[in-house]
Structure 1
């Protein structure tokens, strides 16, 4: 504890020094809290970012305000209309991606999510085209996701209605969806390589947002000399990169030019083609390694956390759980499996899934953008190099947008006739040029896992447990607190 106290004091001193240095340079930027105020609130929150961190500041400083990260202005934008102007109207100006010191040192700046300029333009276009070729929205990928959801249901059934923690099972199943997409195969859950990969992914995800992660971002020059707290996360990154390189080498020996099977195959063919025709090509094996790690990180914990919240909310609202189950029975009976195309026949179920994503948005804010040219936004000057943080929480809990923002209410996504309404205010996947590449994949996964599990089981709290804890665990991803649940097989 004394080490944390000393490091905390160092962090506060650094922030105050930066505040004093920036007093004279903030005049042309949106107003905002002095840096020492931001630091004190961060300390009061237990050195963790909370879901409403940016929204509380917006109530004091307005829909657009500035804070500082080192020497870089960070501009936080709140409210649906303001965020839409930034992400859509000024999509090009805010198409950059800033790489934090920790991310750059541990992971690097290659890939799709972390890259900029020509490399990003090439890889984003390639990623979108390749995901379509691999069958997003088509039968092949749907069957793979459905099979994994059915396997997960079998795993739940083996618990025999006794209390168990679903998070580990979700994590493995969702990870296998990404493995099928990228590697072309699923792993057995007890496969030694898969278990090692899962441990590494889990460690990396939960290190994000911790005290030592944020301290590294604030003082990277100091943290490079304090190796102890970071050994685990560097080791985790090495495991993920090593597995990616191993899969790539295996694919090189079996590459079928006329019949690519997965993302690695398509990428290797792209390297071969571009090396002949494009001297400015940015495709290489090391960038592929980083693309794979991004798919694994971004595609696993986001869906995993949302599914965990989904079951917890169904336990907390048994009437809603029952209504979802009745809708599925009325539409399909007990014998027919549910396909993705069937989602249009399940308006209430779709509304529930969307409301889970709104009510328990899993990120502190949309991924930061970097301004690539000077621009005026909402009446303020934003300089090239500034970071923009779209405060999505400010939309998802806005009483001007939602009837009961503080309550879990599927009616937010239903019209007066009970038909599903897709709400454009649900900007959980971002918007504009940096919208989530695998948005459609995530939606498909949530639909299959949620419907198959609720078709098979009624979820309840363990005997003697009467309260549901809906407070999240702080971090980069807001997961539920650890909880146990009972999956009681339904009699059809």
Structure 2
């Protein structure tokens, strides 16, 4: 029995050494980075609560292009504006894919816009852009819907009568209702419990970002399927979004096809009828989230967009709110090339124009109607960002005092 144990230990050590040497050989063909270990790769290097900070620090050690490992899968990190912009624009076709990892397959099953690649992605994206234009993106019709949501938001703030309030929920509700109007053809009241759940589930997905359990799922999917963790909550939230979308699709199907399509689902169902392919619109519930890209050879490329927004070579005070970043010496507005908030290249955000229109209409309406002040006794709020799927502010309260 002792001999068998010793043989097993020796075998395991041998396998570990062989895998380690294989990784070392693979590393020699890739950009530099921390030394990966068998099975876990470089997970030991990551602090999942401060991911962008860790990536920026690693760039200071290994350069703006370096390699991390998810198990045996190499992930090339691009840091800083120049590296990010070049990859997304000059080499846009090469990095327009999505990784076929177990986690992404579980999330989307090869459907939709966000998590797909190749012909499916090009087809869905082309259709998405065309439909947004047909629905009035950039025209007065869609601006009218945004103005209506701005009016509802002003009313909510006005009812608070200058008392301290957390603005996050009403703002997210208003922005989500713009998307709901485009996708589903109608808005939801602020008391709608199902819509509350939709927002909460989507918020979890955007706040969570990557976690240790997600990376472990890609390495040990056969095991992680049976274990609790953040990944299970993410799958649950994603399924809720799909279920919500399916319910809206059924509602559209039951009412029949209108003479003129009124929303995204109408256009999608009409397209399905033309193609005579009975399938549900897989992208209807995937209107929010962005993440990884991948090369034609299977190596994951991760352009660290946040590093472009914090690049000290392009921003005078990169970690401070500073409107002067967008003003010239005469106080005139200037576009900043390093402002890659919507990504760039083939995977640039589908909703960029919609988002910019929303920002303008919401901000101008709010600033014209209210003066915003900190609650009595509060000297300052935490302006450091929280990283998840997106950068977000720490919770805070503010007083919206009518002008």
TM-score tier by shorter-chain length is: 0.7 to 0.9
Instruction: Assess, with a 3 A threshold, how the Cα gap between structure 1 residues 461 and 53 changes in structure 2: closer, same or farther.
Output: same
Look up the SS of the partner of 1:112 in the other structure.
Answer: coil
Q: 1:78 to 1:239 in 2, by over 3 A?
A: closer
Asked if the contact 1:18–1:71 (Cα under 8 Å) also holds between the matched residues in 2, the reply is no
Normalized per residue, which structure has more helix?
1
Q: Which residue number corresponds to residue 11 of structure 2?
A: none
1:120 aligns with 2:131: no
Question: Cα gap change, 1:459/1:99 in structure 2, threshold over 3 Å: closer, same or farther?
Answer: farther
What are the superposed Cα offsets for residues 138-184 of structure 1, whole Å, 9 maximum, x if unpaired? 11110111110111111011111111111111221111111100001
Do the aligned residues in 2 keep the contact of 1:458 with 1:488 (CA within 8 Å)?
Answer: yes
Once the 2 structures are TM-superposed, how far is the Cα of residue 19 of structure 1 from its aligned partner? 5.8
Distance 1:400 1:474 in 2: 22
- Supply the distance in 2 between the matched residues of 1:104 and 1:469 (Cα, whole angstroms): 37
C-alpha separation in 2, matches of 1:19 and 1:423: 44
Determine whether 1:143 maps to 2:135.
Answer: no
Partner SS for 2:320:
coil
TM-score when normalising by structure 2: 0.88
- 1:39 is matched with which residue? 43
1:90 has 2:82 as partner: no
Aligned to 1:294: 286
- Quote the Cα distance in structure 2 between the aligned partners of 1:98 and 1:484: 39
* SS of match in other structure, 2:165: coil
Is 1:52–1:393's contact at 8 Å kept on the other side of the alignment? no
Give the Å deviation of 1:417.
2.6
The count of residues paired between Structure 1 and Structure 2 equals 385
Provide the rounded CA distance (Å) in 1 between the counterparts of 2:114 and 2:351.
11
> Post-superposition shift, 1:257?
5.3
Please list, as runs of the form range in 1=range in 2, the aligned pairs for 1:328-347 lying within 5 A after superposition.
none
Correspondence for 1:420 among 315, 333, 352: 333
* Contact 1:16-1:35 at 8 Å conserved across structures: no
CA distance in 1, matches of 2:252, 2:81: 45
Taking a change above 3 Å as real, the CA distance of residues 196 and 87 of structure 1, as seen in their structure-2 partners, is closer
Q: Distance in 1 between matches of 2:286 and 2:256?
A: 23
Contact 2:95–2:295 (Cα < 8 Å) also in 1: yes
Is 1:191 the equivalent of 2:185? Answer: no
Contact 2:205 2:389 in 1 (8 A): no
1:268 aligns with 2:260: no
In 2, Cα distance between equivalents of 1:40 and 1:205? 24
Distance 1:474 1:393, change over 3 A: closer
The aligned counterpart of 1:285 is 279
Deviation at 1:102, TM superposition (A): 2.9
CA 1:26–1:151 in 2, change beyond 3 Å: closer, same or farther? same
Partner of 1:429: 342
1:466 positional shift: 1.2
The two structures, once aligned, show a CA RMSD in angstroms of: 2.5
Other-structure match for 1:225: 226
- Residue equivalent to 1:370: 294
Deviations along 1:298-348, one digit per CA (max 9) or x if unpaired, are 3xxxxxxxxxxxxxxxxxxxxxxxxxxxxxxxxxxxxxxxxxxxxxxxxxx
Q: Deviations over 1:275-294 (max 9, x none)?
A: 3xxxxxxx7533x1x31221
Which residues of 2 match residues 50-69 of structure 1 at below 5 A? 50-69=51-70
Residues 1:48 and 1:407: Cα distance change in structure 2 (over 3 Å): closer
Matched with 2:377 is: 464
The change in CA–CA distance for 1:126 and 1:40 in structure 2 (over 3 A counts) is same
Instruction: Report the Cα distance in structure 1 between the residues aligned to 2:202 and 2:310, rounded to whole angstroms.
Output: 30
User: How far apart in 1 are the matches of 2:212 and 2:45?
Assistant: 14
For 2:394, which of 481, 484, 488 is the aligned residue?
481
Deviation of 1:228 after TM superposition, in Å, equals 6.3
- Alignment partners' CA distance in 1, 2:19 and 2:178: 44
What residue in structure 2 maps to residue 407 of structure 1? Answer: 320
Deviation at 1:469, TM superposition (A): 0.9
Unmatched 5+ stretches in structure 1? 1-14, 276-282, 299-365, 373-383
> TM-score by structure 1 length?
0.73
Range with greater deviation from structure 2 (138-147 or 266-275): 266-275
Match of 1:180 in 2: 181
Separation in 2 of the partners of 1:25 and 1:205? Answer: 33
Q: How does 1:1-40 map to 2 (within 5 A)?
A: 21-35=22-36, 38-40=42-44
